[in-house]
């Protein structure tokens, strides 16, 4: 097998995040599920944007956020995702390339416009997300660069993008390409609502041995396994994937690989400002260690450090020097 060109190549939603602080009262008034994520159409997105206060716009999307963290730590990464040929599409492409990530997916002509996620951040740092998927749900299999996918140590897939039919086909094709090249496939479950729609697909992928590394949080773990107990959920999955990683917010995170369980505490932080991207950056820290052959405990520690950095400020892209932070706190 040839040496990998990339540490990680990811397929995910190409989204521009629009974030604004909001009161709990506003979230309730708008009829939103606090701390949740819902899909909205373009008209709803416009209405919610009108209700927002002053906002900050930055390229986002779960898998793209993970790559941004990985790139900041020094990993070589590439992203596959669909934007429209419009202003937000140009913003997304510029931002992701500016942080050192290869992005060569051609822009899509015509409607719909580039995806955006309207995020209301309440005073406790909780984020309520409202996503218009736009052009991102029309990623065709033809847009895949099979050479790049086969030349990446890990193919990382975002569960959110499993919802639309066209990118679902693209991701199935990418899994086949990666496994044919002897590469690992990592999958993040993304959200319980995605599992409610596509849990059978995810369970089939896992049962068929197509997922090597599975990321989830404790809510997603329960939704996928049907087990209310965290430990029972871990037990139900740990023998079905080579590496299982489950996060528990302030309760830390767990990894099971080869029958061995490792746990890490959450990193202490003065104040939680915005939890947007916490799971994405945890995955970044973990994967950075994993592709370098570090033991699970150290990979978990990297994930915890990256997640703590991201929740200390607005936005899902790191602001601190992650290389320096890792050297200080992980070694």
Interval 255-286: pLDDT, tens: 999 999 999 999 999 988 888 889 999 999 99
- Averaged pLDDT, 156-180: 95
CATH architecture of 6-13+61-113+135-330: 3-Layer(aba) Sandwich (3.40)
What's the confidence (pLDDT) of residue 127? 84
Which percentage of the chain shows pLDDT scores above 70? 99
Q: Which has more pLDDT, 83 or 317? A: 83
Backbone torsion region of residue 265, taken as left when φ is above 0, otherwise alpha when ψ lies between -120 and 50, otherwise beta: beta
Looking at residue 125, what is its pLDDT? 83
pTM of the model: 0.91
- Residue that has been written with the tokens 């932080």 in this structure: 269
**Res 17: pLDDT:** 86
User: What is the arithmetic mean of pLDDT over 83-91?
Assistant: 93
116: pLDDT strictly greater than 90: yes
The confidence band for 58, taking pLDDT boundaries of 50, 70 and 90, is confident
Residue 218's pLDDT band (cuts 50, 70, 90): very high
Nearest one of 121, 241, 291, 210 to 221, comparing CA atoms: 241
Q: Which residues contact 66 (CB under 8 A, 6 or more apart)?
A: 8, 10, 156, 188, 280, 281, 283, 284, 287
Residue-level pLDDT at 1: 59
Distance of alpha carbon 253 from its chain centroid, rounded? 16
Task: Report the C-alpha gap between 43 and 241 in whole angstroms.
Answer: 41
User: Do residues 156 and 8 lie in contact, with contact meaning Cβ atoms separated by under 8 Å?
Assistant: yes
pLDDT recorded at residue 314: 78
pLDDT band at 239 (very low <50, low <70, confident <90, very high): very high
* Burial classification of residue 49, based on how many CB atoms lie within 10 Å of its CB (0-12 exposed, 13-18 middle, 19 or more buried): middle
Say yes or no to pLDDT of 2 above 80.
no
Summary mean pLDDT of the chain: 94
Task: Say what angle helices 230-237 and 218-225 make with each other, to 10 degrees.
Answer: 60
Tokens 């990339």, residue located: 6
Cβ neighbours around 46 below 10 Å, total = 12
CB-CB contact of 189 with 195 (8 Å):
yes
Q: Is residue 204 scored above 80 in pLDDT?
A: yes
> What are the phi and psi torsion angles at 12 (to 5°)?
-165, 180
- pLDDT score of 259: 94
Q: Identify the pLDDT of residue 50.
A: 94
């Amino acid at each position: 097998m040839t040496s990998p060109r990339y540490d990680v190549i990811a397929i995910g939603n190409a989204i521009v995040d629009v974030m604004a602080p909001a009161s709990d009262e506003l979230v309730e008034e708008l009829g939103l599920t606090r701390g949740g994520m819902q899909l909205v159409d373009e008209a709803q997105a416009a209405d919610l944007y009108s209700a927002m206060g002053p906002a900050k716009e930055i390229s986002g999307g779960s898998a793209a956020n993970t790559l941004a963290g990985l790139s900041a730590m020094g990993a070589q990464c590439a992203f596959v995702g669909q934007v429209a040929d419009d202003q937000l599409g140009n913003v997304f492409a510029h931002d992701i390339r500016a942080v050192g990530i290869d992005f060569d997916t051609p822009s899509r002509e015509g409607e719909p416009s580039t995806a955006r996620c309207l995020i209301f951040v309440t005073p406790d740092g909780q984020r309520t997300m409202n996503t218009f998927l736009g052009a991102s749900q029309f990623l065709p299999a033809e847009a895949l660069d099979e050479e790049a996918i086969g030349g990446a140590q890990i193919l990382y897939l975002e569960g959110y993008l499993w919802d639309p039919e066209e990118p679902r086909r693209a991701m199935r094709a990418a899994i086949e390409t990666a496994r044919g090249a002897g590469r690992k496939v990592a999958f993040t479950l993304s959200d319980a609502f995605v599992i409610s729609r596509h849990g059978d697909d995810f369970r089939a992928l896992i049962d068929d041995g197509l997922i090597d590394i599975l990321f989830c949080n404790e809510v997603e773990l329960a939704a996928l396994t049907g087990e209310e107990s965290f430990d029972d959920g871990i037990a139900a999955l740990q023998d079905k994937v080579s590496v299982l990683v489950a996060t528990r917010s302030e309760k830390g995170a767990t990894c099971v690989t080869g029958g061995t369980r490792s746990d890490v505490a959450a990193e202490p932080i003065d104040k939680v400002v915005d939890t947007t991207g916490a799971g994405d950056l945890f995955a970044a820290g973990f994967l950075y260690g994993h592709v370098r052959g570090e033991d699970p405990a150290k990979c978990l520690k990297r994930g915890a450090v990256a997640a703590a950095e991201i929740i200390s400020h607005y936005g899902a892209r790191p602001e601190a020097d992650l290389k320096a932070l890792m050297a200080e706190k992980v070694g």
